[in-house]
Amino acid sequence: MLFVLSKTISFVLKPIGILFLLALLSFITKNRTKKKRLNGAFLILLYFFSCPAIINKFIQAYEFPSAKIQNTKNYTYGILLTGGLVNESKSQDSALFLGPQGDRLWQTVELYRANKIKKIIISGGDGYERQSLTFATENDKAREFLLKSGVDAEDILREKDAVNTYENAKFTKKLLPQKTEKVLVITSGFHLKRAIACFKKQNIDADGFATTPISENYPFKWQDFIPTMDAFKNLDILANEMIGLAVYKTLGYI
């Protein structure tokens, strides 16, 4: 029941949920004046939610900026968070297909090659609903990618129990020495704020390395005022992350 309630609240608070409610209210109301107002609000918000010129500014304000590897400090442990690294359903047997967050994997390899991190902890459980015990998981395939990219097997540690960011920090702590220096958390720029907060809640001194930016840094152009599905999708990602941040604060995870 709690799961259904949380998903419903999350839907209502996100752009698609707000638009759905406005459309529903417009459909059921019989008052023509109210209907026009609801339709007007729907169109205004639809434009606002899908306008790159507007949405990009919001994302830039929230998202951690990408950093240059050569300017990154040296760390013993780089903690790679799973979640979209590979396409699990397609990456079976010898096949390996990267997912929407595959940039995390490649940036981790680059950090390792530049000697910015000495060891890599892959943190994240078996998110895909396995059809059998032999079904490859994201954590398995992430390790396979790292090995194929030249990372030494002894430099890869794995935490396979976590199913969310809070557990990433909680379970990774068990793999770290009791007295360890600052670690580097590698995840998407829009996710870093919540991730670092979770690690610090576990008394782990952590810096973040942002990957997979969804904000754009190109010069402004008039086409940015034309609505796009990409802008709408990016706002949905941002809204989902901000809802997650609020929930984590409420639950005491951060």
Under a CB-based contact definition with an 8 Å cutoff, are residues 144 and 94 in contact?
Answer: no
Q: What is the arithmetic mean of pLDDT over 197-226?
A: 92
Query: For 69-211, which CATH class?
Result: alpha beta
pLDDT value at 54 more than 60: yes
Adjacent-strand bridge partners of 94: none
65-111 confidence digits (pLDDT tens): 998 999 999 999 999 999 999 887 787 778 888 989 999 999 999 99
231 CA to centre of own chain: 16
Q: Distance between CA atoms of 124 and 160, rounded to whole angstroms?
A: 5
Least confident residue range of 129-143, 189-203, 223-237: 129-143
**Which sign, positive or negative, has the C-alpha torsion 71, 208, 102, 226?**
negative
Q: Distance between CA atoms of 162 and 242, rounded to whole angstroms?
A: 20
**pTM for the predicted model, two decimal places:** 0.89
109-166 confidence digits (pLDDT tens): 999 999 999 999 999 976 545 445 566 788 999 999 999 999 999 999 999 999 899 9
Please tell me the predicted confidence (pLDDT) of residue 236. 95
Please tell me the predicted confidence (pLDDT) of residue 77. 97
* Residue in the structure block whose two tokens are 């360890």: 180
pLDDT tier at 39 (50, 70, 90 boundaries)? very high
Q: Distance between CA atoms of 228 and 231, rounded to whole angstroms?
A: 5
Q: What are the structural domain ranges in the chain?
A: 2-63+229-251, 69-211
Please tell me the predicted confidence (pLDDT) of residue 5. 59
pLDDT value at 8 more than 80: no
Under a CB-based contact definition with an 8 Å cutoff, are residues 98 and 86 in contact?
Answer: yes
Please tell me the predicted confidence (pLDDT) of residue 1. 53
Q: Pick 133 or 195 by higher pLDDT.
A: 195
**Which sign, positive or negative, has the C-alpha torsion 9, 10, 15, 16?**
negative
Please tell me the predicted confidence (pLDDT) of residue 2. 47
Q: Which of 126, 210, 125, 140 is nearest to 170 (CA)?
A: 125
pLDDT tier at 216 (50, 70, 90 boundaries)? confident
pLDDT value at 229 more than 60: yes
* Residue 11: φ, ψ to 5°: -60, -45
Q: Pick 164 or 219 by higher pLDDT.
A: 164
